[in-house]
Each structure stands twice: as structure tokens, then as C-alpha cells.
């Protein structure tokens, strides 16, 4: 158990819908990272937050947004969902910027 929690574990929804994925980092970790793992693209970095502020952005679509709250938990919002958004979404956390990252169990999203 990495100490990072993600909810929900599984999510099935329809095209065009909006979902919110939630991540709670390990106690004391200030950095939160979001990753997408799909069959055709592999693991890709989406976005990073550090202590409530956006720190780095990767291959995140405009339909996706994220934020980190004062209690350091983070949410990833996916809207206007398409079939190709079906993937495993991982959250990871680290104490500081650039340290060892601890991964949550992931949320498996299926868009039908």
C-alpha cells in the first residue's frame, strides 16, 4: 500500500459525459501528479500540482482539467468524454518536486 488513495476504482460512463477522479496523496506529500495509461499510448504524464499550484503540464487535453485543494487532495475532471478516453488514470505523489513518486491504485475508466 503506497499510501496514495484514488476513488473510484472503476468508472463506466457514456460518451459526452463528465466525470471526476479523486486522489489523496500520502500524508506530508506536497506534489501530486496525474498520468493516463491507455493501450495504444502507454503511460503519459498529464499534469502536476505542487502545494496547490499547477507546476507542469503534459499531454492533457483541453477537455480535461485538474486542481489541488488546500488539504492537498486533487481532482481530475474529464468532460465531453470520448471512447478514446477509456484508460487507467493514475495519481502519484511525492514529498517535493522531483522526488520518488508513490502511485495510487488507479481509476479504470471505460467510456461506452
Partner 1 sequence: KNEVEQSPQNLTAQEGEFITINCSYSVGISALHWLQQHPGGGIVSLFMLSSGKKKHGRLIATINIQEKHSSLHITASHPRDSAVYICAVDTSGSRLTFGEGTQLTVNP
Contact residues for partner 1, defined by CB under 8 A: 2, 33, 35, 42-45, 48, 55-56, 58, 88, 90, 92, 97-103, 105-106, 108
Beta pairing partners, 64: 78
Sign of the four-CA dihedral 77, 80, 84, 86: positive
Q: How far is the CB of 19 from partner 1 (least distance, A)?
A: 18
Give the residues across from 92 on adjacent strands: 33, 103
Which of 54/80 has CB closer to partner 1? 54
Residues 88/9, Cβ–Cβ less than 8 Å: no
C-alpha cell, 69? 485543494
| Least distance from partner 1 to the Cβ atom of residue 98, Å | 3
Q: How far is the CB of 47 from partner 1 (least distance, A)?
A: 9
Amino acid at each position: 500500500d503506497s499510501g496514495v488513495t484514488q476513488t473510484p476504482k472503476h468508472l463506466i460512463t457514456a460518451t459526452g459525459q463528465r466525470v471526476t477522479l479523486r486522489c489523496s496523496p500520502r500524508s506530508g506529500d506536497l506534489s501530486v501528479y496525474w498520468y493516463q495509461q491507455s493501450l495504444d499510448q502507454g503511460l503519459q504524464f498529464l499534469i502536476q500540482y505542487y502545494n496547490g499550484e499547477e507546476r507542469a503540464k503534459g499531454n492533457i487535453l483541453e477537455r480535461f482539467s485538474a486542481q489541488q485543494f488546500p488539504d492537498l487532495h486533487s481532482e481530475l475532471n474529464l468532460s465531453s468524454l470520448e471512447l478514446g478516453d477509456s484508460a487507467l488514470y493514475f495519481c502519484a505523489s511525492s514529498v517535493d518536486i522531483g522526488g520518488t513518486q508513490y502511485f495510487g491504485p488507479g481509476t479504470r475508466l471505460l467510456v461506452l
